């Protein structure tokens, strides 16, 4: 007798197997979709903190090293998912101002960056006067897909920036040797044709009571074919007299136009700030002349607004700054210089290097 066995009912079992076969792919598909959503949620989850580290605490930026690495920054995140897509914004501000007017050094999607000397200098010049060691605060602002913003710890950085300069060919140079510097052509102050062909200008400090000089074009030694004199009628030419300044010693702006052979001068008695950023009862703020007579500065309170830097309290000679110009390069008749945040500022104007004038507006607090 055969052992008892359970009968196989195909009409019942087969439909069940077919149903399970259809449901299994659906189940695993749902499971995969759920896992994907969980993973996306984990990726969007912001960390609890960002820990910033920088490779240097002090950097001196030099024009000759523009392609070199200046500083590296890297940051760790704690809490949240290991995979966190985010936008990391590296910010700098004047030390102690609480990042109320920060400059963005760059925006990145990975937690590390190395800045070249040129790149760091371009942004730090927005904050600091070139050639002067200044203190900056550095931080990272992390922005995450779930609309969460996480801010890192603040690191201090001492930075010395530089002002980029241009070089000029002989055809762009007039040297101005005279009695105020013992008639030496090499090293004599220069007038430069920087932007307009045939128009030369520069600022010179004449430290004697009766200034006299000649104009030597394009060469670095006395050459009768390149030495211009005063032939009268405000014109330059050959076989004339010394150029003289009847208003006596001081700082002058000299201009020469070789298209018309006309020369002119303006004695600079003062430079001052004028505009809506100037607060108080005074309509202008006077800059103090430095010992070299070719740079001026002031430390003053400025309110939110704008200003120009004007010579002799008129608009005849005045500087602003055009948006397309290099940071720190003043433009004659340019747009007014903006002050976005009220505070105490150092303002400096340096006209020592013809063709490479410089200004800076550095906030103190």
The matching CATH number, chosen from 2.60.40, 2.130.10, 1.10.3470, 3.30.1490, for 271-363 is: 2.60.40
Judge whether residue 91 has pLDDT over 60: yes
Q: What is the pLDDT of residue 45?
A: 66
CATH 2.60.40.3620 positions along the chain are 170-267
Ranges of CATH 2.60.40.2550 domains, the chain: 49-160
Is residue 279 within 8 Å of 301, Cβ to Cβ? yes
pLDDT value for 281: 64
Compute the 3-state secondary structure of the chain and give helix, strand, coil in percent, each to the nearest 5: 15, 40, 45
Over residues 136-146, the pLDDT tens digits come to 999 999 999 88
Closest CA to 199 of 267, 265, 255: 255
- Per-residue pLDDT tens digits for 44-61: 567 888 999 999 999 999
DSSP H or E stretch at residue 252: strand 250-257
**Cα distance between residue 364 and residue 58, in whole Å:** 19
Fold of 49-160: Immunoglobulin-like (2.60.40)
The alpha carbon dihedral of 23, 28, 32, 35 has a sign of: positive
225-267 pLDDT, tens digit each: 999 999 999 999 999 999 999 999 999 999 999 999 999 999 9
pTM of the predicted structure, to 2 decimals:
0.83
Residues with Cβ within 8 Å of 245's Cβ and at least 6 positions away in sequence, in order, are 206, 210, 211, 252, 265, 267
| Statement: 170-267 belongs to CATH 2.60.40.10 | no
Can you list the alpha helix ranges (DSSP code H) found in the chain? 10-44, 117-124
- Distance CA(61)–CA(56), nearest Å, equals 12
């Amino acid at each position: 007798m055969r052992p008892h066995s359970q009968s196989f009912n195909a009409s019942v079992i087969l439909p069940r197997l077919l149903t399970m076969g259809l449901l299994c792919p659906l189940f695993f598909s749902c499971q995969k979709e759920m896992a994907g959503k969980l993973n996306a949620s984990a990726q969007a989850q912001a960390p609890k903190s960002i820990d910033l580290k920088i490779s240097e605490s002090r950097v001196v930026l030099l024009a000759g090293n523009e392609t070199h690495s200046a500083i590296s920054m890297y940051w760790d995140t704690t809490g949240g998912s290991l995979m966190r897509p985010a936008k990391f914004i590296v910010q700098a501000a004047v030390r102690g101002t609480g990042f109320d007017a920060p400059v963005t050094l760059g925006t990145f999607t990975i937690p590390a960056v190395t800045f070249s000397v040129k790149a760091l200098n371009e942004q730090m010049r927005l904050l600091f006067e070139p050639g002067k060691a200044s203190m900056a605060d550095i931080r990272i602002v992390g922005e995450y897909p779930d609309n969460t913003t996480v801010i890192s710890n603040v690191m201090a950085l001492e930075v010395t920036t530089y002002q980029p300069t241009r070089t000029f060919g002989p055809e762009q140079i007039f040297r101005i040797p005279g009695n105020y510097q013992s008639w030496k052509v090499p090293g004599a102050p220069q007038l430069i044709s920087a932007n307009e062909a045939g128009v030369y200008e520069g600022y010179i400090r004449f430290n004697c009571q009766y200034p006299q000089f000649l104009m030597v074009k394009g060469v670095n030694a006395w050459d009768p074919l390149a030495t211009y004199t005063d032939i009268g009628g405000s014109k330059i030419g050959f076989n004339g007299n010394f150029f003289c300044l009847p208003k006596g010693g001081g700082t002058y702006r000299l201009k020469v136009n070789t298209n018309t052979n006309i020369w002119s001068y303006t004695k600079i008695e003062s430079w001052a700030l004028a505009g809506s950023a100037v607060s108080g009862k005074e309509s202008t703020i006077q800059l103090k002349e430095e010992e070299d007579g070719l740079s001026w500065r002031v430390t003053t309170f400025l309110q939110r607004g704008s200003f120009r830097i004007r010579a002799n309290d008129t608009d005849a000679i005045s500087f602003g700054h055009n948006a397309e110009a290099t940071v720190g390069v003043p433009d004659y008749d340019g747009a007014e210089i903006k002050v976005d945040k009220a505070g105490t500022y150092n303002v400096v104007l340096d006209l020592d290097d013809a063709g490479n004038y410089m200004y800076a507006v550095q906030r103190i607090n």
